Amino acid sequence: MGSEERPVLIYTTFPTLDDAKRVGEALVAGRLAACVNMFPGMISIYEWKGAREEASEVAMIIKTREGLTEEVLAETKRLHPYEVPALLVLPTEGGSAEYCDWIVRETGGAAAP
């Protein structure tokens, strides 16, 4: 499997489950992601514009391939309701060959022979 087809995970957060579902649906429908996982009920504490904030958020993990990283980041940012969304690319190491091939196929790549 070439580096362009290596799976990557992209972590982000949303203010509501509806926002997360809207973006996740668009990414999967556009074949930019094979799958998105949403974890509602997360509590975040952070500093924003000089004030301490606490908010309920939904964490999301986007499963895609390395060759689509920049496109996924751009589309997620375009659709995201936050002014500055959390967007972190998490490279992967190893994993089930069948699952990695599935990610590649679902995102329009060529699976390993």
Q: Residue 3: what pLDDT?
A: 74
Contacts of 64 (CB under 8 A, 6+ apart): 7, 8, 10, 27, 32, 33, 34, 72, 103, 107
Contacts of 82 (CB under 8 A, 6+ apart): 13, 14, 15
Q: Residue 2: what pLDDT?
A: 74
Query: Mean pLDDT per 10-residue run, the chain (113 residues)?
Result: 86 98 97 98 96 97 97 98 97 92 87 53
- Measure CA of the first residue to CA of the last residue in the chain; give whole Å: 9
Residue in this structure with the two tokens 């949303």, named with its chain if needed: 14
Residue 102 CA to residue 70 CA, distance in Å, equals 20
Q: Residue 94: what pLDDT?
A: 85
Whole-model pTM: value is 0.92
Sheet holding 7-14, edge to edge: 35-48, 51-65, 7-14, 88-91
- Answer yes or no: are the C-beta atoms of 63 and 27 closer than 8 Å: no
Q: Residue 91: what pLDDT?
A: 93
Residue in this structure with the two tokens 């074949």, named with its chain if needed: 31
Q: Please give the CATH topology (third level) of the domain spanning 3-106.
A: Alpha-Beta Plaits (3.30.70)
